[in-house]
Amino acid sequence: MGLFSNNKKLCPICGNPTPRIFSTKVGGTPICKECDKKADQLPLGTTDTMTLDQFKAYLDFYEANQPLRQLFQETERVGFNSFSGDLILDQEHGLFRLKNDENALVFEMKDLISFQVLEDSRPLFISEGKNLRTFQSDVPEKANAMAPQIGQFVLMRQQFENMENMARMLEKQGGDQKQDRYDSSNRPERPYFDVPAPFESFFVDLKLNHPYWGSFRGEITAPSFDRDYPSLDSYLKSYQKKADNLHAFARDFIHMMNPGAQEIYDGVETARPQVTPQSVPQAAPAQASDPIQEIQKYKQLFDAGVITEAEFTAKKKQLMGI
């Protein structure tokens, strides 16, 4: 400890040695690691503008918060991306924390003014007075509109993989026959599905009435499409799971604010519908096409989640003349 501690520069708060390197400063003066742990419960950058007297007042506030920290029992958690913290609820006692740390400040519901859940900048759930307003998301509609692009990519990938298989087969044969039948310099580049998803992130925003926290934002990365094997079905299932989890959180949080809260749906909807992938319009196969090849193409669309099993089975029967 002596190697990394500076016994000549003592903490102005408690008198303990301060770190020799990477020390946190308050009012231009280094503080010890123990005081720094308490400072870490403040919003990022808060101590940069604090005087020593203001920091001492915060430490008194932190100590007064100890009974709530001892009382706190986690009942629900919303995990966010790195550096966003976590929103942890204690529904039994009407408390919540903004960090996954038992030493973090504990908030009471009287500290919460309002909250909202967004898809990028578009509202999904908003506390409105004493009630919860739920909005209809346009993400499933936007995702389903991408079905033709996904289907086209699946066919492109299949063609690329067929050419790669042919190249490997010819390379095994070796000799001049390889040059006569396949020019490896003309191999196409592997296709990737780099189309942006309908949105990038969920956000959970809190507006607070608190001496040290005025607001809080947590971010959850939205689902994305696999660059090699994009699946509309997988995307929608992942989106549905995250949206349902946030819906459950919003319902629980509003009832912590107001046990008699009602849920108000935007428009005429009375419940959030389950999202399901829409079928892709299918063009009739050319008369001269090989039924086996056509079945393989539709199998690729089914594997990618672009069409359903029922649609694939129906198309297979049609191509086989059943």
- Residue 254: strand, helix, or coil: helix
Alpha carbon distance 308, 270 (integer Å) = 27
Q: Could you give all domains of the chain from N- to C-terminal order, each with its CATH number?
A: 5-64 (no CATH), 72-142+195-265 (2.30.29), 147-194+279-319 (no CATH)
User: What pLDDT, on the 0 to 100 scale, is given for residue 270?
Assistant: 45
Alpha carbon distance 255, 86 (integer Å) = 19
Alpha carbon distance 9, 311 (integer Å) = 75
- Residue 169: strand, helix, or coil: helix
Tell me the per-residue pLDDT of 246-288, one tens digit each, with 9 for 90 and over. Answer: 999 999 999 999 999 999 998 534 444 444 555 444 433 334 4
List strand residue ranges (DSSP E) for 157-249, in order. Answer: 201-208, 215-221
User: What pLDDT, on the 0 to 100 scale, is given for residue 284?
Assistant: 36
DSSP line for 152-210: HHHHHHHHHHHHHHHHHHHHHH-HHHHHHH--GGGPPPPP---PPPS-SEEEEEEEE--
Low-confidence ranges of the chain (pLDDT < 50): 1, 3, 178-180, 268-275, 279-288
Look at residues 61, 57, 3 and name the one whose alpha carbon lies nearest to residue 27: 57
User: What pLDDT, on the 0 to 100 scale, is given for residue 278?
Assistant: 54
User: What pLDDT, on the 0 to 100 scale, is given for residue 159?
Assistant: 87
- Residue 9: strand, helix, or coil: strand
Look at residues 38, 101, 28, 96 and name the one whose alpha carbon lies nearest to residue 68: 96
Q: Report yes or no: 276 and 306 within 8 Å, Cβ to Cβ.
A: no
Q: Which residue has the tokens 């998803």?
A: 197
Q: Which residue has the tokens 């008699």?
A: 260
